[in-house]
Structure 1
Amino acid sequence: MSEADDGADTLDGIVARFRRRAEAFGATVAAVSPDRWADPSPCAEWTARDVVGHVVDMHQAVLKPVGRALSPAPSVDDDPLAAFLAARADVESMLADPEVAGRPVDTPMGRATAAGHVDAVVSTDMVLHRWDLARATGQDDTIDPAEVERLWPTMSTMPEMMRTPEAFGPGIVVFGPVVPVPGDAPLQDRLLGAAGRDPHFTPR
């Protein structure tokens, strides 16, 4: 079993994946040089700071179906790391309650448990957006190969609605158009292309 599987899709596995991915994302946020927060990211029209803002917003998005919200915290504009760590703590608190984590909720992709919604949305988001943030700010942007293998089947067969602007609501774009990548390119590059990212993007 690869590290990215973490015990399949049990609650314990979902929690372990979330924590590992949050640790990696948080470490990347912490390592951003102060002069690089305004640098462009691989996500069109987003700066490095915007990437963190989106990830924090996605923490709110997975809390909302169970009637929870983000706790008061510094804004991403004032302190990106503090904003992320507070949002992470709120989601971990929800996952720590088995009754709430196992509650069925309505999501744009259908019914799921609250924990499953976390796993499919913000947990997966942190893998890809850690690459976005690392690439935008000149850090090591290597994705754990086990994560690449785990995400590839889903990303490579993504339904077109996931790329349709506003399919999930006003102003929401989940993934951009596929970026063509050679078939013999490293799997990480093919994953990024399937997720609408140019593996060769440079911010400066």
Structure 2
Amino acid sequence: MHPNFDLEPAATAMAAVVGAMADEQLTAPTPCTDTTVRDLLAHVIMLTEAFRQAATKEAVGRSVGPETVLPDDCEAWRGPADWDGATEAGGVSAPAVVMAMIALNETVVHSWDLALATGQRPAADPSHLAVLLEFLSDTPAEGTPGMFGSVVPVPDAAPELDRVIGLTGRDPGWTR
């Protein structure tokens, strides 16, 4: 596992994608089945708070609600305590380092989803892709219930981002 990786490049990439969106794109479809850009943005905002609370351990013993308002300080996964022990997000308990990898996966993959849905070029930090390829390497062919669908086969020689996307049940060739 890769403890203490920096989530900031993934968050910055997500912010750039969201910042480049136009209001009229909110109703556009995304690679997530039956999900519009607006729906996916709402999901991402909810996850932002859920994973912030996971880092601070505020979520242990309770799940974040779907109508979350982000606090002024959303910083998380920066201090050593954020990476230690067990935590919870969305009713799922896991070691904090695993929860951080799930947060990274959600950020990178949903940045890709939103970029493609809005006609942007998706990008991801190469070090994050290495972490995610290792993290997702044991994904069963049928996918991970509640997280993503069946693995989409992608050649080993394909770009790392395409391989990550395939492991999360998405077709790297998806177009809007």
TM class by shorter-chain length?
0.7 to 0.9
> Distance in 2 between the 1:185 and 1:67 partners?
40
Among the aligned pairs, what percent are the same residue? 29
Q: 3-state SS of the aligned residue for 1:105?
A: strand
- Compared CA separation, residues 19 and 160, structure 1 to 2 (3 A): same
1:192 to 1:96, Cα distance in 2 relative to 1, 3 A: closer
Which residue is equivalent to 1:104?
Answer: 86
Count of residues in Structure 1 that have an aligned counterpart in Structure 2:
168
Q: Is the 8 A contact 2:49 2:68 kept in 1?
A: no
Unaligned runs of 5+ in 2: 54-58
Larger Rg: 1
Deviation of 1:202 after TM superposition, in Å, equals 0.9
Match for residue 61 of structure 1? 50
Structure 1 residue 184, shift from structure 2 partner: 3.3
What is residue 179 of structure 1 aligned with on the other side? 152
Asked whether the 8 Å contact 2:77–2:83 carries over to 1, the reply is yes
| Alpha carbons of structure 1 residues 96 and 68: separation in structure 2 relative to 1, 3 Å | farther
- 2:73 counterpart residue number: 89
Deviations 1:131-179 (CA, angstroms, capped at 9, x unpaired): 1110100111132333222211222312578622xxxxxxxx2011111
Q: TM-score, normalised by structure 2?
A: 0.76
Q: Which runs of 5+ in 1 are unaligned?
A: 74-85, 165-172
**Cα RMSD (Å) of the superposition?**
3.3
Structure showing the higher helix proportion among its residues:
1
- Name segments (4+ residues, structure 1) moved above 3 Å: 66-73, 86-90, 94-104, 106-111, 159-162
- The 5-angstrom pairing of residues 1-204 of structure 1 reads 8-9=2-3, 13-14=4-5, 17-62=6-51, 63=53, 64-65=59-60, 73=69, 86=70, 89-90=73-74, 92=75, 95=77, 102=84, 104-105=86-87, 111-113=94-96, 116=97, 118-159=99-140, 163-164=144-145, 173-203=146-176
